Every structure is written in structure tokens, then in C-alpha cells.
Amino acid sequence: MFEYDPHKQYPKQTESRVIIRFQDCDPLQHLNNAKYFDYFFNAREDQVPKLYGVEIMDFIKKYKAAWVVYNHQISYVRPANVGEWVRIMSRVIWYNENSLVVEYYMTDDNEQELKTLLWTTLRYIDMKTAKTTPHEGAVLDYLKAALVPGVDFQNLTMRERIKQIKEELK
């Protein structure tokens, strides 16, 4: 069960190393565009419990609220190929009273080539009313602790962010 610890240093980013599976690829042996979402979400779902001590179902039971996807923005920069090992990173780059943006990106195994960037906007929803509800208490504290500093999301285009990440990878 998730309990926010104000003395704990929460990681700002999750990272997973995965192989691109044959069954997830198109005839050109590139990861199918729709499958990127599965790879990103599975990687985050695997890492969040390890890094933050929170299982999403326990979180939902405790707070009677959950984040639901509101919007995706994705850019396919370079293909991920069948049999290739890749790195998948995810991080919270923005939040407000009832929403947040998780940034996902995929690189080659050596973290030198950006393959894909995804921004997912989520809304925090009360499970009983199915209406947007504010982040409060430990949830808000968790978001503050996990937020990657220095990303001016509201004044940033995806193209600009791709350039920034490519520079970080060099």
C-alpha cells in the first residue's frame, strides 16, 4: 500500500530494458506503431511499484480515485526493429490540480539514439462519481516528489522536446 514518505528521495525517472518482439512488428520488421503504447505502459507498470512502492490497484482502493488517459501526443523518430534491445524511460513532467503529463521515450540500448517520444495527459477521476477530482494530500506530495524539474511543458513543443532529449543523449 502506498504511503508517502517525506524523508524518502523519490526517483524522477523509471527505466526498463526490453527486446522488440517479432509478433509486435510489421512486415518491415519495425515495431508496429500501436505496439509502442504497450511497451511504454508495460515498462512503467513494471517499474513504478519497485521505485515508488505503489501498486495501482492499492492506490485506487485507498484513494477511491485513478488517473485516466485524456490525450496522447506521439512522435516516431527512428524505428525500433525486431530483436533489438531498447531502453524505455518514463517520468512526470507536469501536473496541476487534477491532471498530469507523463513523458515516455525510447532509445537504443546504448541510449544514444532517440526512437520515440510520447506525452500522455491523464486526468484524476473520482471512482464513485466518474468526475474530475483534485490531487490532494499524499497524492499531491507524491507528484511534487516525482516531478522532473526544469521541463517547461506548457511552453514547449514536441519538436523542441525531441531536440532537448537528443542533446541529453549525446
Rounded CA-CA distance 36/48 in Å is 18
User: What is the structure's pLDDT at 148?
Assistant: 96
61-85 pLDDT tens trace: 889 999 999 999 999 999 999 999 9
Task: Read off the pLDDT band of 170 (50, 70, 90).
Answer: confident
User: What is the structure's pLDDT at 2?
Assistant: 67
What are the residue ranges spanned by the domains of the chain?
Answer: 14-169
Contact 60, 30 (CB under 8 A): no
Rounded CA-CA distance 80/8 in Å is 36
Task: Please report how many Cα atoms fall inside a 13 Å half-sphere around the Cα of residue 168, on the Cβ side.
Answer: 11
CATH entry, 14-169, from 3.10.129.10, 3.30.565.10, 3.60.110.10, 3.30.1020.10: 3.10.129.10
Contact 106, 42 (CB under 8 A): no
Task: Read off the pLDDT band of 5 (50, 70, 90).
Answer: confident
Query: How many other β-carbons are positioned within 10 Å of the β-carbon of residue 106?
Result: 26
Going by C-beta distance under 8 Å and a sequence separation of 6 or more, which residues neighbour residue 139?
63, 65, 124
Rounded CA-CA distance 107/85 in Å is 9
What is the per-residue DSSP string for 67-113? EEEEEEEEEE-S--BTT-EEEEEEEEEEE-SSEEEEEEEEEETTS-S
Rounded CA-CA distance 43/89 in Å is 8
User: What is the structure's pLDDT at 1?
Assistant: 60
Query: How many other β-carbons are positioned within 10 Å of the β-carbon of residue 121?
Result: 16
User: What is the structure's pLDDT at 52?
Assistant: 84
Read off the pLDDT of each residue in 120-141 and give the average, rounded to a whole number: 95
Higher-confidence residue: 3 or 12? 12
Query: How many other β-carbons are positioned within 10 Å of the β-carbon of residue 31?
Result: 24
Query: How many other β-carbons are positioned within 10 Å of the β-carbon of residue 131?
Result: 9
Which region among 22-36, 51-65, 135-149 has the lowest average model confidence (pLDDT)?
Answer: 51-65
